[in-house]
Protein backbone atom coordinates (compact mmCIF):
# COMPACT_ATOMS: atom_id res chain seq x y z
CA UNK A 1 0.00 0.00 0.00
CA UNK A 2 2.93 2.30 0.63
CA UNK A 3 3.70 2.27 -3.11
CA UNK A 4 0.33 3.65 -4.24
CA UNK A 5 0.44 7.22 -5.51
CA UNK A 6 -2.12 9.91 -4.69
CA UNK A 7 -3.56 9.33 -8.18
CA UNK A 8 -3.91 5.60 -7.48
CA UNK A 9 -5.74 6.34 -4.26
CA UNK A 10 -8.03 8.83 -6.03
CA UNK A 11 -9.01 6.22 -8.66
CA UNK A 12 -9.58 3.51 -6.05
CA UNK A 13 -11.59 5.79 -3.79
CA UNK A 14 -13.77 6.96 -6.69
CA UNK A 15 -14.54 3.38 -7.67
CA UNK A 16 -15.25 2.43 -4.11
CA UNK A 17 -17.59 5.38 -3.56
CA UNK A 18 -19.75 4.32 -6.51
CA UNK A 19 -19.87 0.76 -5.22
CA UNK A 20 -20.61 1.72 -1.62
CA UNK A 21 -23.44 4.07 -2.57
CA UNK A 22 -25.46 1.03 -3.68
CA UNK A 23 -23.96 -1.66 -1.58
CA UNK A 24 -24.13 -0.28 1.94
CA UNK A 25 -27.93 -0.22 1.96
CA UNK A 26 -28.14 -3.68 0.40
CA UNK A 27 -25.73 -5.26 2.88
CA UNK A 28 -27.39 -3.52 5.85
CA UNK A 29 -30.71 -5.05 4.77
CA UNK A 30 -28.99 -8.43 4.38
CA UNK A 31 -27.75 -8.10 7.94
CA UNK A 32 -31.31 -7.69 9.18
CA UNK A 33 -32.55 -10.53 7.00
CA UNK A 34 -29.89 -12.85 8.39
CA UNK A 35 -31.85 -13.04 11.66
CA UNK A 36 -35.27 -13.48 10.08
CA UNK A 37 -35.61 -17.01 11.48
CA UNK A 38 -33.78 -16.47 14.79
CA UNK A 39 -35.37 -17.87 17.96
CA UNK A 40 -37.58 -15.63 20.10
CA UNK A 41 -35.79 -16.55 23.37
CA UNK A 42 -39.14 -16.43 25.15
CA UNK A 43 -40.47 -13.21 23.65
CA UNK A 44 -43.59 -13.51 21.51
CA UNK A 45 -41.77 -12.38 18.37
CA UNK A 46 -38.11 -12.52 17.40
CA UNK A 47 -35.64 -9.66 17.08
CA UNK A 48 -36.11 -9.32 13.30
CA UNK A 49 -39.89 -8.95 13.74
CA UNK A 50 -39.28 -6.54 16.65
CA UNK A 51 -37.21 -4.30 14.36
CA UNK A 52 -39.93 -4.35 11.70
CA UNK A 53 -42.59 -3.62 14.30
CA UNK A 54 -40.67 -0.64 15.68
CA UNK A 55 -40.27 0.77 12.16
CA UNK A 56 -43.95 0.12 11.39
CA UNK A 57 -45.09 2.01 14.50
CA UNK A 58 -42.80 4.95 13.71
CA UNK A 59 -44.17 5.02 10.16
CA UNK A 60 -47.79 4.91 11.42
CA UNK A 61 -47.11 7.88 13.67
CA UNK A 62 -45.76 9.92 10.76
CA UNK A 63 -42.09 10.08 11.71
CA UNK A 64 -39.57 11.02 9.03
CA UNK A 65 -37.52 8.46 7.09
CA UNK A 66 -34.41 9.22 9.12
CA UNK A 67 -36.25 8.08 12.25
CA UNK A 68 -38.07 5.13 10.66
CA UNK A 69 -34.81 3.70 9.31
CA UNK A 70 -33.19 4.30 12.71
CA UNK A 71 -35.97 2.26 14.29
CA UNK A 72 -35.61 -0.47 11.69
CA UNK A 73 -31.93 -0.95 12.50
CA UNK A 74 -31.94 -0.11 16.23
CA UNK A 75 -31.43 -3.74 17.25
CA UNK A 76 -29.84 -4.98 14.01
CA UNK A 77 -26.71 -6.01 15.89
CA UNK A 78 -28.49 -7.79 18.69
CA UNK A 79 -27.45 -11.25 17.52
CA UNK A 80 -23.84 -10.58 16.55
CA UNK A 81 -23.00 -7.80 19.03
CA UNK A 82 -25.54 -8.03 21.87
CA UNK A 83 -23.50 -6.30 24.59
CA UNK A 84 -22.88 -3.25 22.45
CA UNK A 85 -25.70 -3.32 19.95
CA UNK A 86 -26.68 0.32 20.48
CA UNK A 87 -23.21 1.51 19.50
CA UNK A 88 -23.21 -1.01 16.65
CA UNK A 89 -26.40 0.48 15.16
CA UNK A 90 -25.13 4.01 15.78
CA UNK A 91 -21.92 3.31 13.88
CA UNK A 92 -23.83 1.67 11.04
CA UNK A 93 -26.11 4.70 10.61
CA UNK A 94 -23.78 7.50 11.75
CA UNK A 95 -23.08 8.92 8.25
CA UNK A 96 -26.76 9.00 7.34
CA UNK A 97 -29.10 9.91 10.21
CA UNK A 98 -29.50 12.83 12.60
CA UNK A 99 -27.37 13.44 15.67
CA UNK A 100 -30.54 13.05 17.74
CA UNK A 101 -31.12 9.52 16.46
CA UNK A 102 -27.47 8.54 16.81
CA UNK A 103 -27.54 9.67 20.45
CA UNK A 104 -30.74 7.75 21.01
CA UNK A 105 -29.23 4.58 19.53
CA UNK A 106 -26.11 4.85 21.66
CA UNK A 107 -28.14 5.31 24.85
CA UNK A 108 -31.26 3.26 24.22
CA UNK A 109 -30.08 0.23 26.13
CA UNK A 110 -29.49 2.12 29.38
CA UNK A 111 -32.75 4.04 28.98
CA UNK A 112 -34.58 0.75 28.64
CA UNK A 113 -33.41 -0.55 32.00
CA UNK A 114 -36.02 1.27 34.08
CA UNK A 115 -38.67 -0.78 32.30
CA UNK A 116 -36.98 -4.13 32.90
CA UNK A 117 -38.25 -4.58 36.43
CA UNK A 118 -37.55 -8.27 36.58
CA UNK A 119 -34.05 -7.95 35.21
CA UNK A 120 -32.48 -5.14 37.26
CA UNK A 121 -32.94 -4.51 40.96
CA UNK A 122 -34.17 -0.96 41.69
CA UNK A 123 -31.50 -0.48 44.36
CA UNK A 124 -28.75 -1.32 41.87
CA UNK A 125 -26.78 1.92 41.22
CA UNK A 126 -26.40 0.95 37.58
CA UNK A 127 -30.15 0.82 37.34
CA UNK A 128 -30.70 4.18 39.05
CA UNK A 129 -27.90 6.18 37.51
CA UNK A 130 -27.65 4.84 34.02
CA UNK A 131 -30.53 6.91 32.70
CA UNK A 132 -30.77 9.68 35.30
CA UNK A 133 -27.25 10.95 34.64
CA UNK A 134 -28.55 12.14 31.26
CA UNK A 135 -31.66 13.99 32.49
CA UNK A 136 -31.60 17.47 31.01
CA UNK A 137 -29.71 16.39 27.90
CA UNK A 138 -31.34 17.72 24.73
CA UNK A 139 -32.05 14.20 23.46
CA UNK A 140 -33.21 12.72 26.78
CA UNK A 141 -36.92 13.12 26.04
CA UNK A 142 -36.73 11.64 22.54
CA UNK A 143 -34.76 8.64 23.77
CA UNK A 144 -37.23 8.03 26.62
CA UNK A 145 -40.11 8.42 24.16
CA UNK A 146 -38.57 6.01 21.67
CA UNK A 147 -38.13 3.37 24.38
CA UNK A 148 -41.62 3.80 25.77
CA UNK A 149 -43.62 4.05 22.54
CA UNK A 150 -41.58 2.21 19.93
CA UNK A 151 -39.24 -0.25 21.66
CA UNK A 152 -40.56 -1.99 24.77
CA UNK A 153 -44.04 -2.26 23.25
CA UNK A 154 -42.87 -3.59 19.88
CA UNK A 155 -43.14 -7.24 20.91
CA UNK A 156 -46.80 -7.67 20.04
CA UNK A 157 -47.61 -10.74 17.92
CA UNK A 158 -51.03 -9.28 17.10
CA UNK A 159 -49.64 -6.30 15.23
CA UNK A 160 -49.03 -6.95 11.55
CA UNK A 161 -45.79 -5.22 10.62
CA UNK A 162 -44.99 -3.77 7.24
CA UNK A 163 -42.57 -5.89 5.22
CA UNK A 164 -38.85 -5.37 4.78
CA UNK A 165 -39.63 -4.73 1.09
CA UNK A 166 -41.81 -1.80 2.12
CA UNK A 167 -38.90 -0.19 3.96
CA UNK A 168 -36.24 -0.99 1.35
CA UNK A 169 -36.67 2.17 -0.80
CA UNK A 170 -36.56 4.25 2.38
CA UNK A 171 -33.36 2.52 3.50
CA UNK A 172 -31.80 3.21 0.10
CA UNK A 173 -32.76 6.88 0.24
CA UNK A 174 -31.42 7.32 3.76
CA UNK A 175 -28.17 5.52 2.95
CA UNK A 176 -27.75 7.70 -0.14
CA UNK A 177 -28.22 10.85 1.90
CA UNK A 178 -31.60 11.84 0.44
CA UNK A 179 -34.37 10.77 2.83
CA UNK A 180 -37.91 12.04 2.29
CA UNK A 181 -39.61 14.11 4.98
CA UNK A 182 -43.39 13.51 5.39
FE1 LIG B 1 -31.87 -2.61 21.89
FE1 LIG C 1 -35.44 -2.90 20.68
pLDDT of residue 120: 63
pLDDT of residue 128: 66
pLDDT of residue 182: 61
The alpha carbon of 57 and the centre of ligand 1 are apart by a number of angstroms equal to 16
According to DSSP, residue 163 is labeled: P
The alpha carbon of 86 and the centre of ligand 2 are apart by a number of angstroms equal to 9
Of the listed ligands, the closest to the CA of 153 is 2
The alpha carbon of 66 and the centre of ligand 1 are apart by a number of angstroms equal to 18
The alpha carbon of 146 and the centre of ligand 1 are apart by a number of angstroms equal to 11
Question: Within a 10 A sphere around the Cβ of 174, how many other Cβ atoms?
Answer: 26
pLDDT of residue 118: 64
pLDDT of residue 112: 86
Of the listed ligands, the closest to the CA of 89 is 1
> Domain residue spans in the chain?
6-175
pLDDT (tens digit, 0 to 9) for every residue of the chain, 182 residues total? 888 998 988 888 888 887 887 899 999 999 999 999 999 888 899 999 999 999 999 999 999 999 999 999 999 999 999 999 999 999 999 999 999 999 999 999 989 887 766 666 767 776 767 888 999 999 999 999 999 999 999 999 999 999 999 999 999 999 988 766 66
Of the listed ligands, the closest to the CA of 113 is 1
CATH match for 6-175 among 3.40.50.2300, 1.10.3210.10, 3.40.640.10, 1.10.3720.10: 1.10.3210.10
pLDDT of residue 119: 63
- Ligand 1 is an ion; residues with CB less than 5 A from it: 75
pLDDT of residue 160: 93
Buried-exposed string 89-122: b where 16+ CB fall within 10 A, e elsewhere? bbebbeebbbebbbbbbbbbbbbbbbeeeeebee
Of the listed ligands, the closest to the CA of 54 is 2
Of the listed ligands, the closest to the CA of 155 is 2
Amino acid sequence: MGDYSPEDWAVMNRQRAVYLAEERARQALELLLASRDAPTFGYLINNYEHCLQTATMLHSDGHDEDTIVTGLFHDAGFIICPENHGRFAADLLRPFVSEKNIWMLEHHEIFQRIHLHGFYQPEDPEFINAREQWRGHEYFDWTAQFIEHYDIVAINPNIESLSIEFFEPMVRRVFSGSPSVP
